[in-house]
Amino acid sequence: MKNLPLALTLTVTLACTAAAAGLHDVKVKDIDGKELSLTNYAGKVLLVVNVASRCGYTRQYAGLEALYQKYQGRGLVVLGFPCNQFGGQEPGTNEEIKAFCQSKFNVTFPLFDKVEVNGPKRHPLYVRLAGPDSPFPGDIRWNFNKFLVGRKGEVLQRFDSKVAPDAPELVAAIEAALAAK
């Protein structure tokens, strides 16, 4: 019985460490259809965003690109995951989405294959980001929700669609994550 608190602490610590490190092992497809693992981004701070081309928040692409340009040298990578679950606002093909993002917003940050962020077909990445075992569980409510992920794959914060890429709270969180080693 004396060792029960120690055993519980160790179990919780190991479970949290495994969950945090586990984000990097998720497989994704980039916008060109190439499968890759998020281990490619290990050691980077990630801003994971579900995006759409026909949304009132679509102009956030410009702000996301500005964040990427400003902080990529320090280790930030913005990852855009198109999603058509909110009002059918991302109906295009991957090729159309890529062309739109490049021509309208000069997007250079990585874009990925269209995914579902809610429901029974929720992509494994979004299960880890917003599923019941996440530190920020709950359905994604709209396009341009943002998850800040630390260098070790731990989900640090979640930001609603209304939080613009240049919002002080988001910028401060990114800077804090980049400063952490």
Single-letter residue type at 130: A
Q: Using an 8 Å Cβ cutoff, are 52 and 58 in contact?
A: yes
For residue 86, the one-letter residue type is: F
Which of 16, 55, 83, 101 is an active site residue?
55
In the residue annotation, 101 being an active-site residue is answered as no
* DSSP element (H, E) containing 28: strand 27-29
Look at strands 45-51 and 76-82 and give their pairing.
Answer: parallel
Instruction: Tell me the HSE value of 145 on the side-chain side, using a 13 A CA sphere.
Output: 20
Q: How many helices (H) and strands (E) does the chain have?
A: 5, 6
d(CA 139, CA 142): 9
Give the residue numbers marked as catalytic.
55
